[in-house]
Structure 1
């Protein structure tokens, strides 16, 4: 369900409205939209019940007439409601705010299968590791040192990723990948998408720990840094990953500096394609071809995700294992508009 934009009436607290903002009420606290609508319908015709934000615990109830909304507010506001699990509802008037022309939609349908997204080169393998293996992998990284970023913790193996340059120094090898990922590497080599692929000799691992509510801004892994196969194993908690392909100008504007591996994308630019997929724990995501080179991937900063009509709470942490092979020569992919190697070569040619 998309998030309709609501706000306070311009006249202040005293101005009424046919729309009510209702807190302590919603799917995250066990109350379906149908149940909420049935309770409020006792006061008049309901036009709809909408998510007020991404918490899952606040909704907007929209009546056909202001008088009905006023009666509901007077009857239910600040009082326990037996029909809604005895919860005390915090209610105020709300109005629909117009959406800016050209703004991207706030929501995108979430798929459970990679094939539904129609993005060439994108694959998702469910239950890639067992629950016991997941526990062992988490224990292995928790025994090692974490580096703190602004919102999450990371570990690097093989080669360290430099967040300032969004690249790696191939001359600084940190050693072989840890033994605890050997079963994962062996299993990857058996995937039908990876047999006989020279790039399967993965030599760089980044482990990310995301606290609840923390995600990633849209970005494409730097072409000049890594080869064409990128694997990401999700552990401990689920998330939604969104994919965006910008239709003009290739990459979104690059920030002047960054302390994180993120390329900020302007939300004012609505000229992009959007897809989204649900990544359950223990699943392996593979980015290759167009999915790797041309689509930004992005994890929304949510504590609760809506997957179809279900509310999915993110765990207290989500840990990802991202496995890649560093690139030692310029990228020659088929997507030059997104490729830093080919853009750099083009600028050098123009200067000659």
Structure 2
């Protein structure tokens, strides 16, 4: 399927059904559904797309030129209360022929809320932190050394995760979690949806930095390595996370650094997908944590239903877990390395 590509905004007043809108997009806290809703008050919107990889500029495409003109005249260079009071900078734009072809999401519907996923134990909180808090967290990790892997960079706190064994060495304690992690734990405890799954003594944090096009191959976090719930905070850029649950026993724990997403060897699995916007936090507990493989497709572009979202220049995730000191005795032995 060819992806739509747009020219830079025109400097003239020539009419077009496509508007280039600056100071607007996921990187400034505005999701595509909200943008569609606001612009939709001026006429039927056929699509909202990322204009580039910054996440701060979008293309809003209308069905009719007159609707685009009405939106431009009403919103250009004026504070829009429905979009957080942001002052938008709007010009006309035009389509260019498609320049690349990709397959994304394998036609699976991308959910925006975990209630639509129908996976027990999964919970997503939007806007878990503010834009200012996001900047502070990114500055905190960028002031510390990164470890380079094949395609991304990582930082480990509490205990180091060993990708070769998909486990941790409990004899190699790195020290207490940094102050910025303690702040996150305090915030988690303030959300009822998350605090019920907050185990005492979360003691391991992995920070991942993903450049565009880099994701994670399908895996279940090793049962014998971590106990209880897993929290994952998304910063800087959006992505889609997909989930698979195998129903015929044909499943494999994948290396986090596998070069190939090849777990489609079995057709006997359930599949779900969810959009993770910046500053959201995802909880995996119970069945979602122990029985479902999760992964991030290795794409530079994601389709979120009718919208095209280009990955940002970076995405940073904070994964917070509790290291297990004994064998796992969960209720999902078919997926459990301690019980196989």
Deviation at 1:265, TM superposition (A): 4.4
3-state SS, counterpart of residue 170 of structure 1: strand
Structure 2 spans left out of the alignment, 5+ residues:
8-16, 18-51, 53-92
Q: Deviations over 1:74-126 (max 9, x none)?
A: xxxxxxxxxx93746789xxxxxxxxxxxxx8221000000100000000000
More strand by share: 2
Matched, 1:151 2:151: yes
CA contact (8 A) 1:28 1:311 kept: no
Partner of 1:47: none
Q: In the TM superposition, what whole-angstrom CA distance separates every residue of 1:10-45 from its partner, at most 9, and x where no partner exists?
A: xxxxxxxxxxxxx7xx43437xxxx9xxxxxxxxxx
- Aligned match of 2:299: 302
- Consecutive unaligned residues of structure 1, counting only runs of 5 or more, are 4-22, 36-54, 56-83, 92-104, 344-352
Taking the aligned partners of 2:258 and 2:168, their CA distance within structure 1 comes to 12
| Corresponding residue number in structure 1 for 2:13 | none
Equivalent residues in 2 for 1:16-27 (5 A)? 26-27=3-4
**Other structure's SS at 2:226 match:** coil
Q: Which secondary structure state, in structure 1, belongs to the residue aligned with residue 159 of structure 2?
A: coil
Deviations 1:127-170, CA, capped at 9 Å, x for gaps: 11100000010011011110011000000000000111000011
Select the residue among 323, 331, 339 that pairs with 1:326: 323
Q: Secondary structure at the match of 2:207?
A: strand
Kept in 1, the 8 Å contact 2:234–2:277? The answer is yes
1:201 CA drift (Å): 2.0
Match of 1:95 in 2: none
Cα RMSD (Å):
3.1
Match of 2:166 in 1: 166
Which string of whole-angstrom CA distances, capped at 9 and with x for unpartnered residues, describes residues 212-243 of structure 1? 11111110000000012000000000000000
Contact 2:137–2:180 (8 Å) recurs in 1: yes
Name the counterpart of 2:237: 237
Distance of aligned partners of 1:238 and 1:222 in 2 relative to their CA distance in 1, 3 Å threshold: same
SS state of the match for residue 333, structure 1?
A: coil
1:189 matched residue in structure 2: 189
The 1:183/1:88 distance shift into structure 2, 3 A limit, reads closer
- Identify which of 271, 274, 278 aligns with 2:271: 274
Structure 1: distance between partners of 2:5 and 2:97: 15
- Partner residue of 2:94 out of 67, 81, 85: 85
Q: 1:283: which partner in 2?
A: 280
Conservation of the 8 A alpha-carbon contact between 2:218 and 2:294 = yes
Judging changes above 3 Å, is the alpha-carbon distance between structure 1 residues 198 and 278 closer, same or farther for their aligned structure 2 residues? Answer: closer
Aligned partners of 2:176 and 2:120: how far apart in 1? 31
- Structure 2 matches for 1:22-61, cutoff 5 A? 26-29=3-6
The aligned residue for residue 45 of structure 2 is: none
What SS does structure 1 have at the residue aligned with 2:209? strand
The answer to whether the Cα contact below 8 Å between 2:203 and 2:323 also exists between their aligned partners in 1 is yes
Alignment-derived partner of residue 246 in structure 2: 246
Tell me the residue number matched to 1:19: none
What is the CA-CA distance between 1:259 and the residue it aligns to? 7.4
Aligned partners of 1:339, 1:162: CA distance in 2, in Å? 18
What is the total number of aligned residue pairs between the two structures? 259
Provide the C-alpha distance between the structure 2 equivalents of 1:212 and 1:120, rounded to a whole number of angstroms.
30
* Greater C-alpha Rg: 1
Residue 325 of structure 1 aligns to a residue whose secondary structure is: strand
> What are the Cα deviations for residues 232-278 of structure 1, in whole angstroms up to 9, with x where unaligned?
000000000000001111532x57xx573899643231111000000
Q: Secondary structure at the match of 1:323?
A: strand
Return the alpha-carbon distance in structure 2 between the equivalents of residues 263 and 227 of structure 1. Answer: 28
Contact 2:161 2:168 in 1 (8 A): yes
Partner residue, 2:36: none
> Does the C-alpha gap of structure 1 residues 263 and 285 become closer, same or farther in structure 2, counting only changes over 3 Å?
farther
